[in-house]
Amino acid sequence: MSLPPSFTDDLSGLPTHAFSHRSLTWWGIIGFMVIEGAAFALTIAAYFFLMNQEQEWAPRPWEPPGLLAGTLFTLVMLLSEIPNTMIKKAAEAYDVGTVRKLLPVMVAIGALLFVIRGFEFNSLNVLWYENAYGSIIWALLFLHTTHIVTDWGDTVVLWRLMETPHSEDPRRLVDTDENALYWRFVWLSWLPIYALIYWVPRLFR
Amino acid sequence: MTAAERAKQPPTKVPRDGPKLTGPKLEQRLESTWSNPPGFIGWISSVDHKDIGRRYVITALIFLALAGVLAIAMRLQLSRPDNDLIGAARYNEIFTMHGTTMMFLFAVPVMQGMQIYLTPLMLGTRSNAFPRLNAFSYWTYLAGGCLLWVAFVLNIGPDVGWFAYPPLSGPQYGVGKRADIWAQMVTFTEIAALAAAVSLTATILKQKAPGMSLARMPIFAWATLVTSLMVIFSMPSVALASGMLLSDRLVGTHFFNPAERGDALLWQHLFWFFGHPEVYIIFLPATGFVSEIVATFSRRSIVLYPVVVMSLVATGILAFGLWVHHMFATGLPRIGYSFYTAASMSVSIPTGLQIFCWIATMWEGRPRLQVPLLYVIAFIFTFVIGGLTGVIIAAVPLDLQLHDTYFIVAHFHYVLIGGAVFPLLGAITYWYPKATGRMMSDSLGKISFWMIFLGFQLAFFPMHISGILGMPRRVYTYPAGMGLELPNLLSSLGGLVVAAAVLLFVVNLVLPLRRPKHAGPNPWDAAGLEWATPSPPRPYNFPHIPVVDSRTPLWDAGETLSVVHGLRVEDRELLLTTVLSAKPDLREPSAEPSAWPLIASLALTVMFVSSIFSPWAVVFGAVPVVIALTAWFWPKSPAPEPEPVIS
C-alpha cells in the first residue's frame, strides 16, 4: 500500500454465507434471469411484429395448436411449485434431509415435463419451415425448452452434489435456494408463452 | 493443512489480516494464496481479474490493428477515382470485416477489458465477482474473434456489412457460409459480453469497500454499472436476431422472408435495439475515463458529481428509445418520425451536461496539460463536432438526403473515434503505470497525440464534404469528375498519418517495458483507491480492505489509510458489503484458479462452429459443454465444516 494502514473494525465475526440478496450467487442468478427475460420479451415482441403481417392468427389453412399437451404441461409446471417451495424453505432452514428427499422429485418432474414437451411439439399443427407463423411458434417453444433443459441439468447436478458430504456446507444450501428461485422464473416465464402459443392463435381467428 | 481442517479450527487460530499480521509477513502469505499456479497450466487457469482484463485489452488492441490495416486498404483503394487495387467483392469483405471487427471485437471488448481490470481496484476489493465466469468470457471472446479472422483468411469471411441486413444476408442472396460465420461470431461475442457484464454488475453492487456508498462511488464505476446493465438488456436482442438469421439459413424458418409472411425489417428492429445502445456501451465507459482523468489532472473532484451520474443513467435509459433513427429511410408513420427525432435530439442533453461539468472542473481546477488530459480535450473538441452532425441527421429530411453517404461515415467516426478511442488512448496512458509499474514517454506520447488528432481530422472531416456531394458508403470506387477526388485523397492521407501515429503509440507502449519499475504507486497524485496499491498491483490487490469516507479517498486520507481487517489469509476470501451504503455484511470465498472455464469455452466453440453446418450439432455439442460446466462448478476441496462465528 502507498500509505500505512490504520486499523478500524475487525470483520472476522461476519458470517460466511447468507440467503437471498445478501449473497453474490443471488445477484448472478438475477443477472441471468434478466438476460433470459429480455430474450423472451424480445421474442414476444417479434411474435407480435410478425402477427401484424397476417390478416388472422393462426393464418389459414393452419389450425391453432392442440390444447391438451400444452395445458397439461402448464398444470404440471404449476404443481411443481409445491415441492419447489418446500425445497426452498428446507434449504433456508438448513434441513438437508428434506432437500435430499425432494430434489429427486424435482428431477422426476423435469423428466415428465420433457415427455409432455415432446407431445407439445407434435401438436402445434404447423412446422417451423411452413411460414413465419410456424417459425415464431416453434421459436417460442424451442427457447422455453432450452430453459427447462438447463434448469433440469442444474437440478440433477445439485441432487448428486447434495448426496455427498458437500451438502454440509451451508453455501450449498444457498445454491439450492437459488436453484429453486430459478425454477420459479422458469414456470413464471412459461405462462405468457403458453398464452401466446395456445390461446392468442385461437382468439385472433 | 487442508481447507477443511482449517475450517474446523476455532476462529482465533485461523490466520487473518490485522494489527498482528500485517506488512511483508502478511503480503507473503496473501501472495501464495492468491497467485496462479506455476507454468502453462497456471497461465490458462488464471481467474485474476487483472490477468483477464489485460488479456482482453491486448487482444482487442490486436483486433484494432487488424481492422486498421483493412481501413488503410480501403483508403488506398479510394485514394483515386476508378482505382482497381481492390475488386468489388473483396471490398465488400473488407468493409464488413473492418466494421465487424471494430464494433464486436475491439470497441466493446476493450472497454470491458478496462472495466474488468480497473473496477475491483477502484472499489477496494481483492477480486471480482464470479472470477471463473470472467475467464470464460475472455476465452469465448477470443474464440469468436478467431472464428471470424480464420474464416477471412480462408476466403470465407462475411461480406454482408457489419449489420448484415437480410435479404442480402438471408439464404436467397447470402450463399455459402459467409453470413453464418458472421452470425455465429456475434453469438460468441454476445455471450462473452453478457458474462462479463453480470460479473461487473455483481462486483459493483456487492464488493464496494466499506463506506463507499453509491453516492461516493468513482464515476468510472458508475459508468461501468450503467454500461453493464445496458449490455444485459440490449445484447439478448442481437443474439436472438443472429439466432433467427442462422435458423432461416440452416433449417428454413421464415423470420425475415417476406414471401412467407416474415419481415426483413424485423431484423433491423432487433439489430438496432441492440446496435444503438451499443454505441453508448462503447461511449459511456469512455466518459468514465474522462471524468477520472479530468479530476486527477485538474487536481479537484468533478464539479456537480450528481449531475454527471444522473447524466450517465439518463443516457443509458434514453439509448433504448432511439434505435429507429437508424431506420428513417425504411419508411415510418409520421408519429414515428417525430418521436424518434425528438428522442435522438434529447440524448444530446445529458451528454451536453457532462461536457459542461468537465469544462467547469478544468476551469475551477489547476489543469496539467499532460498526455491523458490532451486526449480528453481532443475528445471534447471532436465529440462535439460528431454530436452536432448527429443532431443534423436526427432530422428526418436531412437524414433521408444523407442516408448511406460518407456524411454518415464521418459522423460515426467522429463520435466513435473522438468519443471513445481518444479517451481510451488517454486512459491507457493514464493507467499504464498502474498496470506495468512504468511510465510511457511524455514526449513520444505528445508526438503521437498530435499526429493522431490532426491525422484524424484530415481523414474524416473531408468525408462530410464527399457525403454532401453524394458519395455513397460501401461502394468500392467512384468515377472521376464529380469533385470527389480531393476529399478522398485528403482522407487517404489522413488515414496514413493516423496509422503512423498508432504505430508510434504502440512503440511507446512497448519501449518502457525494458526499463525498471519506477512509477511508484501513485505517479499522477490521483485520488482513487486503485492508486493505493503497488504498481503493478499484487494478485490480492489490497493487503487490508480500505475504508472510504469521501469521493476522493487518497486526497483525504492524510498520513494513513483507514482499513478494516479480519479476512482469512490462507483462503481466498472476499468482503461483501450492502448495495446502497456499503456496510460490511459477509465474508465469502472467492473461486480458485481453474482450467475448466477454458475447457467449457472450447466445448462451446466446437458446438457453435459445428452448428453452422448442422442443427444436430446443438444437441450433440451440448454434451461436452454440460460435462465441462459440471466439472467447473463441482466443489474441489473436501467439504468444510461450517466456520465457527464469533458472536
CATH of the domain at A43: 1.20.120.80
The pLDDT score that the predictor gives to residue B121 is 98
Q: For residue B320, what are the contacts with CB-CB under 8 A and spacing of at least 6?
A: B230, B233, B234, B273, B276, B277
- Domain membership of residue A118 (yes or no) is yes
Instruction: Please give, rounded to a whole number of angstroms, the shortest distance from the CA of B632 to a CA of chain A.
Output: 12
- Domain membership of residue A8 (yes or no) is no
Question: A150 CB near a chain B CB, below 8 Å?
Answer: no
In this complex, which of B253, B547, B642 lies closest to A129 when CB atoms are compared?
A: B253
pLDDT tens column, A60-75? 999 999 999 999 999 9
Contact A46 B647 (CB under 8 A): no
Cell, residue B319: 439509448
The pLDDT score that the predictor gives to residue B2 is 55
Cell, residue B181: 460465420
For all residues of chain B together, what is the average pLDDT? 94
Q: DSSP assignment, residue B275?
A: H
Rounded-to-integer distance, Cα A79 and Cα B343, Å: 45
- What DSSP line would sit under B168-231, residue for residue? TTSTTTS-TTHHHHHHHHHHHHHHHHHHHHHHHHHHHHH-PPTT--GGGS-HHHHHHHHHHHHH
In this complex, which of A11, A28, A132 lies closest to B255 when CB atoms are compared?
A: A132
Within the 86-125 window of chain A, which residues sit less than 8 Å (CB to CB) from chain B?
none
Question: A129 CB near a chain B CB, below 8 Å?
Answer: yes
- Domain membership of residue A9 (yes or no) is no
The neighbouring-strand residues paired with B21 are B18
Which has the closest alpha carbon to B375: B414, B411, B429, B312? B429
List alpha helices for B35-177, DSSP H: 39-45, 49-78, 88-100, 108-123, 131-153
What are the φ and ψ backbone dihedral angles of A5, each rounded to 5 degrees?
Answer: -80, 145
- All structural domains of chain B, each given as residue ranges with its CATH number in brackets, are 3-43+523-585 (no CATH), 44-514 (1.20.210.10)
The pLDDT score that the predictor gives to residue B175 is 86
* Exposed / middle / buried, residue B181 (Cβ in 10 Å: 0-12, 13-18, 19+): buried
Question: B481 CB near a chain A CB, below 8 Å?
Answer: no
Q: Give the burial string for A57-71 (b: 16+ CB within 10 Å, else e).
A: bbbeebebbeeebbe
Q: DSSP assignment, residue A197?
A: I
> Does a cis peptide bond (omega within 30 degrees of 0) precede residue B193?
no
Residue of chain A nearest B267, judged by CA positions: A46
Chain B environment of A27 (Cβ under 8 Å): 129, 201-202, 205-206
The pLDDT score that the predictor gives to residue B646 is 45
Low-confidence residues of chain B: pLDDT under 50:
645-647
Domain carrying residue A71: 24-55+66-203
Question: B644 CB near a chain A CB, below 8 Å?
Answer: no
Looking up cell 497456471 gives: B42
The neighbouring-strand residues paired with A5 are B561
Of the residues B127, B248, B565, B636, the best mutation for testing chain A's interface (the one with the most A CB atoms within 10 Å of its CB) is: B565
Within the 486-525 window of chain B, which residues sit less than 8 Å (CB to CB) from chain A?
520-522
Contact A5 B563 (CB under 8 A): yes
Within the 600-639 window of chain B, which residues sit less than 8 Å (CB to CB) from chain A?
626, 630, 633-635, 638-639
Contact A17 B588 (CB under 8 A): yes
Q: Is the pLDDT of residue A94 over 50?
A: yes
Give me the interface pTM, i.e. the ipTM.
Answer: 0.96
Contact B565 A10 (CB under 8 A): yes
Question: A48 CB near a chain B CB, below 8 Å?
Answer: no
- Domain membership of residue A60 (yes or no) is no
Instruction: Please give, rounded to a whole number of angstroms, the shortest distance from the CA of B644 to a CA of chain A.
Output: 9
Residue of chain B nearest A9, judged by CA positions: B564
Question: B642 CB near a chain A CB, below 8 Å?
Answer: yes
- Domain membership of residue A19 (yes or no) is no
Rounded-to-integer distance, Cα B68 and Cα B499, Å: 7
Instruction: Please give, rounded to a whole number of angstroms, the shortest distance from the CA of B471 to a CA of chain A.
Output: 34
Contact A53 B262 (CB under 8 A): yes
- Domain membership of residue A10 (yes or no) is no
Question: A17 CB near a chain B CB, below 8 Å?
Answer: yes
Contact A7 B575 (CB under 8 A): no
Contact A46 B236 (CB under 8 A): no
Q: Is the pLDDT of residue A96 over 70?
A: yes
Q: DSSP assignment, residue A195?
A: I
The pLDDT score that the predictor gives to residue B333 is 87
- Within its chain, how far is the Cα of A204 from the centroid? 28
What are the φ and ψ backbone dihedral angles of B584, each rounded to 5 degrees?
Answer: -55, 135
* Exposed / middle / buried, residue B452 (Cβ in 10 Å: 0-12, 13-18, 19+): buried
The pLDDT score that the predictor gives to residue B12 is 64
Instruction: Please give, rounded to a whole number of angstroms, the shortest distance from the CA of B587 to a CA of chain A.
Output: 5
> What is the number of domains present in chain A?
1
- Domain membership of residue A76 (yes or no) is yes
The pLDDT score that the predictor gives to residue B647 is 41
Cell, residue A22: 445478501
Chain B environment of A167 (Cβ under 8 Å): 639
The neighbouring-strand residues paired with B565 are A10
Question: B88 CB near a chain A CB, below 8 Å?
Answer: no
pLDDT tens column, A138-187? 999 999 999 999 999 999 999 999 999 999 889 999 999 999 999 999 99
Question: B543 CB near a chain A CB, below 8 Å?
Answer: yes
Rounded-to-integer distance, Cα B320 and Cα B279, Å: 11
Q: Distance of CA B497 to CAs A96, B97, B454, B509, B599, Å?
A: 68, 22, 8, 18, 42
**B491 in Cβ contact with B409 (< 8 Å):** no
- Domain membership of residue A171 (yes or no) is yes
